[in-house]
A and B are shown apart, each in its own frame.
Chain A
Amino acid sequence: MWQYIIKRILGLIPLLLVISFVIFMFIHLIPGDPARLMAGKDATLEEVEEVRQSLGLHEPFVKQYISYMGNLLQGDLGYSIKSGAPVVDLILDRVMPTLGLTFLSIIWALVIGILIGVLSAVFRDKWPDRLGMLTAVSGISLPNFWLGLVLIQLFSVQLGLFPTGGDDAGWKSYILPSFALGAGIMAMIARFTRSSLVNTLKQEFIRTGRAKGLSGTSIVFGHALKNSLIPVVTVAGLQFGFLLGGSVVVETVFSFPGLGRLLIDSIQFRDYPVIQAEILFFSLQFILVNLLVDILYSYLNPKIRYD
């Protein structure tokens, strides 16, 4: 198992190199003169030249790449054009709220989603299934900005239980946005768990389990569920990756200081170093989540490990 994990981590190195190169190219792919674009329309020639110097754009291409990679390895992602603050600090400020929100959303989406999926599969075509799938369809169909607004109206304005936005109220500020974010994912997980489990319950080893004298609960939780989780882990992993990038819509609705809003602000101000750093950060997160999902696959299905 460890051998497999180390092999997979080593396999990431070439991928990371390619990604960093593509992101480095980003600034060169902007049509026209990037220094002029960043300096703004009304900038004088001297100001444009200053930007060029500060970004090192006057250097030869290869040298630029080497110094970019050198800085990157030292954790230096440049400075924000808008605020002048180091990009690393800007991102670090926003990472923790986004991470907290993401983890909370995915955890409750997994717990409730799998529970609904299991109940629906076990009581297939009976009322728990219909109720579960109705919940799932609602979760997928309701847009999360709308759900967010309804939640604010109900729990913050009417009942006064949670803050209407921001992240100043500790754990309470995470409840409503994580609910708005997680509802769709919970619904998807419920559907995938259900269909996968329904399939697994038709397998022959389930009959073997019954022939051994196992109870229905032992069969579902001891034998069937682990065999059904691969598609669930795939979906949850993908959604987790997206969430780590911060949700623009939900963060805006709840005025939540996460990465999603930072990205939107940077795009509006053409703050290229910040955009570049965020893209790099998102890519890294996606790669790590993918790795995690692959490792989970090999835990869930020993065949994958040995092949």
Chain B
Amino acid sequence: MGSLLQVNNLKTGFHTEDGMQTVITGIDFEVNHGEIVGLVGESGSGKSVTSLSIMQLLHDTPGEIIDGEIIYKGEDLLKLSEKKMRQYRGNELSMIFQEPMTSLNPVMKIGKQIIETISLHLNMSGQKAKQHAVSMLESVGIPRAKDIMNEYPHQLSGGMRQRVMIAMQISCNPSLLIADEPTTALDVTIQAQILDLLKDIQEKTNMGILMITHDLGVVAEICDRVIVMYAGRIVEQATVKEIFNNPKHPYTKGLIDSIPKIGAGLDELYSIPGAVPSPKNMPKGCKFAPRCEHVMDICNLEEPALAMENGRSSRCWLTQEQSQQEGVVGHGQ
């Protein structure tokens, strides 16, 4: 497993009336070949902006990448011309979106939408492109694929549309697929089917998947590694097992505790108090401090760094203090 995508010190800001507001504050992570990485956080934590930054799809937003590197297969995507970047999108890097209802063109036949991508990148035309589109639809488990080619998005169910979307975005065999909340808008049973499908495709093609979600259930289901984001920065990074068995950051703990448990009463459902601070009103120290149960004096004064330890990292004074103490104890023995 080599590094497929490496994001170094990515900073993205939004143009506002008060000037540039940084919303992604220098994040680093990587996605390897054949790996599914979960990018987790609440609304407003910066997950989607991160994914749009990687694809450089901030056109229709007031956003702009300020600094950093996005190294894909050894090449910095931020240094590419828009024309070159267009050749990568849909071909090398693909993206599927949350709302299958609105993410397909409502007035264009399904077949035409898929063929468009294929003929754009694969140098296939006419019958050949059509055959490839049908086989892609079949590969994502769509029955009567040939008929569906001539139908419009509104004639399909949400789950089917998301399958069409996946078929379209993997039709050029990308190495990296960014899935932005691909199951959030779907029924629970369909969610499981779509996740199985993505896992299946990933195993067959060895593509890397960056799975953006707020649902730790999704993470547990298919991810290998998890990145937890809060207020535009990474607060914890670890394997799925480590995250669920031993979460380090209080925010990650809160997220795990917020998963509804079968058998627990409704009044026992935990939620993290407060909300993600806006970029305008960021707390001075740790950005999670105002919502944290374990807040200490230092938390309000200084922001902790993302500390690496045994291949995992977290951004919290408490865990850093604990590991230091453990380290002292360890030395003493």
Residues of A within 8 A of B (CB): 201-215, 222-223, 226-227, 300-303, 306
Interface size class of B (residues with CB under 8 A): 20 to 34
Q: Are B104 and A212 in contact (CB under 8 A)?
A: no
Which residues of B (85-124) have their CB < 8 Å from a CB of A?
A: 86-91, 94-95, 97, 99, 102-108, 116-117, 120-121
What's the minimum C-beta distance from A135 to chain B, rounded to whole angstroms?
26
- CB pair A208–B86 under 8 Å, yes or no, is no
Contact B108 A223 (CB under 8 A): yes
B95's partner among A211, A222, A303, A306 (CB-CB below 8 A) is A211
Interface residues of B (CB under 8 A from A): 55, 57, 59-60, 86-91, 94-95, 97, 99, 102-108, 116-117, 120-121, 152, 154-155, 165, 168-169
Q: Determine how close the nearest CB of chain B comes to the CB of A222; give it in whole angstroms.
A: 8
Partner of A205, one of B88, B89, B106: B106
Q: Find out whether the CB atom of A203 lies under 8 angstroms from the CB atom of B89.
A: no
Q: Which residues of A contact B102 (CB under 8 A)?
A: 203-205
Would you call B108 and A211 a contact (CB within 8 A)? no
Task: Among B57, B107, B121, point to the contact of A207 (Cβ < 8 A).
Answer: B57
Query: CB distance B97 to A207 under 8 Å?
Result: yes
List the B side residues contacting A302 at CB < 8 Å.
Answer: 106-107, 152, 154
CB distance from A232 to the nearest CB of B (A): 14
Contact status A208-B104, CB under 8 Å: yes
Note all chain A residues with C-beta closer than 8 A to B121: 213
Would A210 and B120 be within 8 Å (CB), given that A301-B107, A303-B152 are in contact? no
Complex CA–CA separation, A204 to B100 (angstroms) = 9
Contact call B89/A201, Cβ cutoff below 8 A: no
- Asked whether A208 lies within 8 Å of B165 as measured between CB atoms, the reply is yes
State in angstroms the CA–CA spacing of A208 and B106 once bound together: 12
CB pair A301 B106 closer than 8 Å: yes
**What separation, in Å, do the CA atoms of A206 and B108 have in the docked complex?**
12
Q: Name which residue of chain A comes closest to B88, CB basis.
A: A213
**A207-B60 in contact (CB<8A):** yes
Chain B residue nearest to A222 (CB atoms) is B116
Complex interface: chain B residues within 8 A of A205 (CB):
102-106
Please indicate the chain B residues that have their CB under 8 angstroms from the CB of A300 in the complex. 107
Q: Which residues of B contact A203 (CB under 8 A)?
A: 102
* Cβ A227 vs Cβ B97 within 8 A: no
Cα–Cα, bound, A213→B59 (Å)? 13
List B contacts of A212 (CB < 8 A): 89-90, 116-117, 120, 168-169
CB neighbours of A209 from chain B (8 A): 105
Given A211-B90, A302-B152: 4 more A-B contacts, CB < 8 Å: A205-B105, A209-B105, A212-B120, A214-B120
Q: Which residues of B contact A301 (CB under 8 A)?
A: 106-107
Q: Is the CB of B103 within 8 A of A210?
A: no
Give, as a whole number of angstroms, the nearest-CB distance from B269 to chain A. Answer: 31
Query: Chain B's nearest CB lies how many Å from the CB of A218?
Result: 8
Whether A211 contacts B59 by the Cβ 8 Å rule is no
Q: Please measure, in the bound complex, the distance between the C-alpha atom of A203 and the C-alpha atom of B102, giving whole angstroms.
A: 7
Q: Distance in Å from the Cβ of A124 to the closest Cβ of chain B? A: 11
Q: In the assembled complex, which residues on chain A have CB atoms less than 8 Å from the CB atom of B106?
A: 205, 227, 301-303
Bound-state CA distance A8–B16 (Å) is 51
**With A207-B57, A303-B154 as contacts: A223 and B89 at CB distance below 8 Å:** no
Closest Cβ–Cβ distance, residue B329 to chain A (whole Å):
51
Would B60 and A211 count as touching, CB distance under 8 A? Answer: no
B59 to chain A, nearest CB (A): 7
- What are 8 A-B pairs at a CB distance below 8 A? A212-B89, A212-B116, A212-B168, A214-B86, A214-B116, A223-B108, A227-B105, A302-B152
Q: How far is the CB of A217 from chain B (nearest CB, A)?
A: 11
Among A208, A215, A226, A303, the most chain B Cβ lie within 10 Å of the Cβ of A208
Partner of B57, one of A202, A211, A222: A211
Nearest first, the 7 A-B pairs at minimum CB distance are A213-B90, A212-B90, A213-B89, A211-B95, A204-B102, A302-B152, A205-B105
Choose among A201, A204, A211, A215 the residue with the greatest number of B CB atoms under 10 Å from its CB: A211
A206 to B106, CA, bound (A): 11
Q: Are B154 and A201 in contact (CB under 8 A)?
A: no
